[in-house]
Structure 1
Amino acid sequence: MGVERIYVVREVRERFLAELEHRLRRVRAGVHYGPMTVPAQVEIVRGHVADALAHGATARVGGAESVRPPYVDPVLLVDADEDSAAVREETFGPTVTVRTVESVDEAVRLANATEFGLAATVFSRGRGMEIARRIRAGATSVNAVLGFAAVAALPFGGVGASGFGRIHGAEGLLEFSRSHSLTRQRFALPGMALMSFERTARTMRLVERIVRWRHGRAR
């Protein structure tokens, strides 16, 4: 699991991109990370990079030449169209897209406009928790990438196409259990055999009165 999409507000765009570019240029495939674990994924990464560049993205680090099986060097794609495969789909490679937005509201809208929703990260000096609550994802960290992974008590899992169910925490334990509902009738009420075909007209009138009293109208 890694960061695939980033949305950055315009006022900090250049500082952010300069720092990100500086760090990515120091990362080496085959030194800091290994080859692609699934050979077929190399072609998916190649296709996503090519598609993003065709949809107007600028490669600030790497590019099409970064794909050299079985390795893929870091690729930083800036302002790719939201319809490009690198943004819409999961690349599962050492690539990242960065999109410039005018406001936090726009960033939240674009971040949530995906069929996936495994995890997210929000960086903000004062509004981190507020923004995080608006993100549609199974887990969101504030001011730390994947911070939730360090807290075993927190349930982890996705939403949407990222799946359902949880691991870790109390909810994760429930995934390995099964519920078993038990009920026992202690005594029978005269004329109240509602779970059989022996319901009398008197029984149904009584039920109708109870429903009307409880809900304001008969159902």
Structure 2
Amino acid sequence: MTLSFDSRKMADALYTGQFCPMFIDGAFVPAQSGEVLDVVDPASGHQLATVPRGGAADVDVAVAAARRAFEGEWSKFTPYDRQEILLRIADLMEKNWDMLCVSDTVDMGLPITRTLGNKRRVIGMLRFYAGQATALHGDYIENSVSQSMISYTTREPVGVVGAIIPWNAPIAASIWKIAPALATGCTVVLKPSEDAPLTPLLIAKLMQEAGVPDGVVNVVTGTGAEAGARLAAHPDVNKVVFTGSTATGQTIARAGVDNLKRITLELGGKSPMIICKDADIAKAIPVAAMAVYAHSGQICIAGSRLFVAREIQDEFIQGLSEFAKSLKIGHGLDADTDLGPLINAQQTSKVEAYIASGQEEGARLITGGGRPSGDPYDGGNFLRPAIFADVRDDMKIAREEIFGPVVSVLPFDTLDEVTARANATQYGLAAGIFTRDLGTAHKMTKRIKAGSVWVNMYHAIDPAVPFGGLKMSGYGKEGGVEHLQAYLDTKAVWIQTE
């Protein structure tokens, strides 16, 4: 792919070590403590910028601003007004898409070709929710108690929403949280990850340009333990939406008990990818590989448990290995990069520990797993994509979410067997199936316990289609009309006519 702009020049213009304040009540401000956090390019180790280390006091100010906006000017906006604003946001983000993608790439490492490729999805989300803003309505209910009574329902915004997002997709995650809130008339306090806080601040600026009133959207930067914890537990936050680890999701669920706030959790996964013996192998290999290697494995839906029919296992592993070796590792700003860095040194060491564990437990490392050396890898958090064979279901690499470029290949003999093994996990976020048999596809999609199941494909996400997990992968849906209902309360109205 050839870029139509100089990505490195744009990155230098955006971030040269400057201070990037957070956004509260329509103003860009420092933390009340004056403390800052360093933001580092994971591909080079160089400092990009600093952001405020927001704490509980800053969250309190942001929530108060969101409450004033919710009960004040924003409450006077009609659905049509909110639709217009969402459409203006979409237009501004589309106009500034290259800048936003460069920001995301340097902030968290995803190759620029992949961030640019998310345009249709992200802008589509904004326009989908804009369309939904004027389609929300209650119901008239034919009263069965008395003919002299009329009953109907209204749908009303829940109030202030606390949104906490991870570092692996700041653009998409920000919009997935903010757009439905705006469509329904809620206000938002967004807490981005401390590892990738820069793009959400750019988005806040664009939203201000689009005419979003002060206090409707606020972005507080800081750590999860400080700013995130306060936002999750805040008594004046009516709903929390969170994407991240299962452990943190459990903490957030507990924090919401005191005021019984609504909570939507999109958490971890250990998703199965099932390659049946009749699969189109040539088509399945690149899809199965990128089901894990996209973003160097740092995606919650990574199909990292690769179940392959025993009859085709050797052929599949050979093709998978050749594909993995062909992937170009490098800085995300380079147009020919396939795999960028992991987010930080801590995550890189964690993945290396999983690779060592796989070998210690008897799995066979087919390829990858080491750190590339020399220029341009010095200072970056790079790992070669790894493939393990001879993996057992009870091995650590087959049970736990690695969040790195590691695939475990597990052979199977029957569909009943592989279905049971695929479901034998605490997670239930996603799954993939490759087969040419329509009957097999229907049978297995019904039996697999996961929130999303893809057949002969993977990673497809559409604003109109609900997304979310089962079991320890969370609860609640994002996407589709169901997503919007989670930001609304239903009120029943009774009228005596006689």
Distance 1:67 1:180 in 2: 59
Q: Are residues 1:43 and 2:368 paired?
A: no
- 2:401 maps to what in 1? 90
Cα deviation, residue 11, structure 1? 1.3
Distance 1:169 1:184 in 2: 32
* Alignment-mate amino acid for residue 130 of structure 1: K
Deviations 1:88-111 (A, max 9, x none): 111111111110111121211111
Deviations 1:117-146 (A, max 9, x none): 111111111012221211111100000012
Q: Give structure 1 stretches of 5+ with no counterpart.
A: 188-219
What is the aligned counterpart of 1:155 among 457, 461, 466?
466
Q: TM-score, normalised by structure 2?
A: 0.35
**Greater RCO (CA < 8 Å, at least 6 residues apart):** 2
Residue aligned with 1:71, SS: coil
Q: Are residues 1:173 and 2:484 paired?
A: yes
Q: Are residues 1:5 and 2:279 paired?
A: no
What is the aligned counterpart of 1:132 among 445, 469, 475?
445
More helix by share: 2
- 1:21 maps to what in 2? 321
Q: Are residues 1:121 and 2:432 paired?
A: yes
* Alignment-mate amino acid for residue 465 of structure 2: L
Distance 2:350 2:372 in 1: 10
Distance 1:100 1:131 in 2: 17
Distance 1:124 1:11 in 2: 14
- 1:101 maps to what in 2? 412
* Alignment-mate amino acid for residue 39 of structure 1: A
Residue aligned with 1:19, SS: helix
Which segments of structure 1 move beyond 6 Å, counting only runs of 4 or more? 184-187
Distance 1:32 1:146 in 2: 16
Cα deviation, residue 79, structure 1? 2.4
- 2:86 maps to what in 1? none
Distance 1:130 1:152 in 2: 26
Distance 2:497 2:397 in 1: 62
Q: 39-48 vs 157-166, which deviates more?
A: 39-48
Deviations 1:9-54 (A, max 9, x none): 1112122112211111101322312111143211221111111111
Residue aligned with 1:25, SS: helix
More strand by share: 2
What is the aligned counterpart of 2:366 among 49, 53, 60?
60
Q: Judging changes above 3 Å, is the alpha-carbon distance between structure 1 residues 47 and 67 closer, same or farther for their aligned structure 2 residues?
A: farther
Q: Is the 8 A contact 1:128 1:143 kept in 2?
A: no
Q: Judging changes above 3 Å, is the alpha-carbon distance between structure 1 residues 177 and 58 closer, same or farther for their aligned structure 2 residues?
A: same
- 2:194 maps to what in 1? none
Distance 1:180 1:92 in 2: 42
Count matched residues: 184
* Alignment-mate amino acid for residue 358 of structure 2: A
Q: Give structure 2 stretches of 5+ with no counterpart.
A: 1-298, 331-336, 374-379
* Alignment-mate amino acid for residue 317 of structure 2: L
Distance 1:185 1:161 in 2: 46
Distance 1:146 1:174 in 2: 24
Report the aligned-residue RMSD. 2.1
- 2:390 maps to what in 1? 79
- 1:143 maps to what in 2? 456
Distance 2:495 2:366 in 1: 68
Q: Judging changes above 3 Å, is the alpha-carbon distance between structure 1 residues 66 and 114 closer, same or farther for their aligned structure 2 residues?
A: farther
Distance 1:106 1:38 in 2: 38
Aligned runs of 1:200-215 on 2, under 5 Å?
A: none
Residue identity over aligned pairs, in percent, reads: 31
Distance 2:494 2:344 in 1: 51
Distance 2:497 2:358 in 1: 67
- 1:192 maps to what in 2? none
Q: TM-score, normalised by structure 1?
A: 0.77
Aligned runs of 1:180-195 on 2, under 5 Å?
A: 180-182=491-493
